[in-house]
Amino acid sequence: MAARRVSYFFSRSLSLPTSPASLAKKYGLSGKGMQRYTTATVLEEPVITPPVQVNYTKLLINGQFVDSASGRTFPTLDPRTGEVIAHVAEGDAEDVNRAVSAARKAFDEGPWPKMTAYERSRILLRFADLVEKHMQELAQLETWDNGKPYEQALTAELPLFVRLFHYYAGWADKIHGLTVPADGPHHVQVLHEPIGVAGQIIPWNFPLLMYAWKVGPALACGNTIVLKSAEQTPLTALYVSKLFHEAGLPDGVLNVVSGYGPTAGAALASHMDIDKLAFTGSTDTGKVVLELAAKSNLKPVTLELGGKSPFIVCEDADIDRAVEIAHFALFFNQGQCCCAGSRTFVHERIYDEFVEKAKARAAKRTVGDPFKKGIEQGPQIDSDQFEKVLRYIRSGIDGNAKLECGGERVGSKGFFIQPTVFSNVQDNMLIAQEEIFGPVQSILKFKEIDEVIKRANATRYGLAAGVFTKNIDTANTLSRGLRAGTVWVNCYDVFDAAIPFGGYKMSGVGREKGIYSLNNYLQVKAVVSS
């Protein structure tokens, strides 16, 4: 399949000379005790009830759906309304122990690591076929639990999910070692063996895709898994894992524990019998995960963390096309994307025109029930994210950025926010420094290429970047100069199963997808014979 974007969906200024640190404290962006920034409401419409049934709400351990050891459950909410969709079993340390024990037994004694790689490949392919048959139900669950547009889930994310498992099924029987020449009368083999029991913690913004990014390579390499889903979006991981068992996956190979980070997540990260850990989430939580892994058994950790990605529009750009791609780079998935192009740098000669057109494009963006056809933007995931985004908007206004459009909530229930555009954004503002994770575009002005490279790199993050220019020399200069794991030139959010993804600096450790992801789940063993 050709490389593709994850989706085809394609004023006033208030002066308050306040430092970023004091603004962060004022709006509770670096601590607790937040206050909601309330805004105008619009006429309410009844939400669409999806026809899908919620059939799987228990923990999946050793091939069986079971209650949590404590018997506790937690609610998963519809972000369109804040109402409860279902109550899901709340796993904690005892449940993680049960899941790890099942995964360990399946690895040490079960058929999965010992069966032929070809048979593992066939199970992965059968699973992908089952997902294709259930794509509508899965897309409905994903939208209901997460709030992303149904068209996006069905026509972009589910096909890519299937493609990822086809890709890793193809790799399963092509993982092999080496024969190495050595000095002296020795025969040397280098073996690539499965690492063992993998612990995996996935986020709420792309529940199914992050499941595929982690589960696919781990199973292709012959490992067993304990996966913790995000507490905001537990439903689709349980559904697809049931399909995996229908495809013939042996019991205990894939275990799913729903629960909270400080309990289930911490227990998984610190578990002494987990051989490898993979985490996607915020940089601050990633630090905690890394510390827990180090303090337990020094398990290797893959981290895919936050970003504050620059999108650089050069003076020779086709402005209309640049505006559309910059809009997509930021607003896709309600802005809840770790690699969102959240710092839009525009050359000073085209800046004013770009701002006006970006403002007009944002004003046309359709916001509403994500099950409704033609809707581009649904709600933020929950009240915490909703309030956090609104506080960042207020900090931008008070920091003297110009609010070109948006800035308010949509409706009186649910977690909808107007597409928001700021101009006159300076590098020292909070909205230019911190990951907002919402529909807020910050447009900055630059003059010289060397200058914008330096400014784009002046961040603790280095996940991705975008470059928009007609000049190949400019594109090469920027691509080499930007310290980011992915640089998209004249495009954005192109995700293919074979393209590695990960960050520089505090955007993470290691790479996911492509051949590089296999290395995360393999041990290297040298066998020397005389």
Annotated catalytic residues are: 304
CA distance to 13, 366, 425, per residue, from 404 (Å): 9, 17, 11
| Distance linking the first and last C-alpha atoms of the chain | 47
Q: Residue 64, SS3?
A: strand
DSSP string for residues in 102-126: HHHHHHHTSSTTTS-HHHHHHHHHH
Contact 155, 499 (CB under 8 A): no
SS (H, E, C) 443-488: EEEECCHHHHHHHHHCCCCCCEEEEECCCHHHHHHHHHHCCCCEEE
By CB atoms closer than 10 A (0-12, 13-18, 19+), residue 319 is: middle
Which contiguous run of DSSP H or E holds residue 24?
helix 20-26
CA distance to 97, 252, 258, 298, per residue, from 94 (Å): 5, 16, 12, 21
Scanning 199-337, the segments in alpha helix (DSSP H) are 207-220, 235-246, 266-269, 283-295, 319-331
How many whole angstroms separate alpha carbon 405 and alpha carbon 355?
A: 11
Contact 276, 309 (CB under 8 A): no
Scanning 365-429, the segments in alpha helix (DSSP H) are 383-398
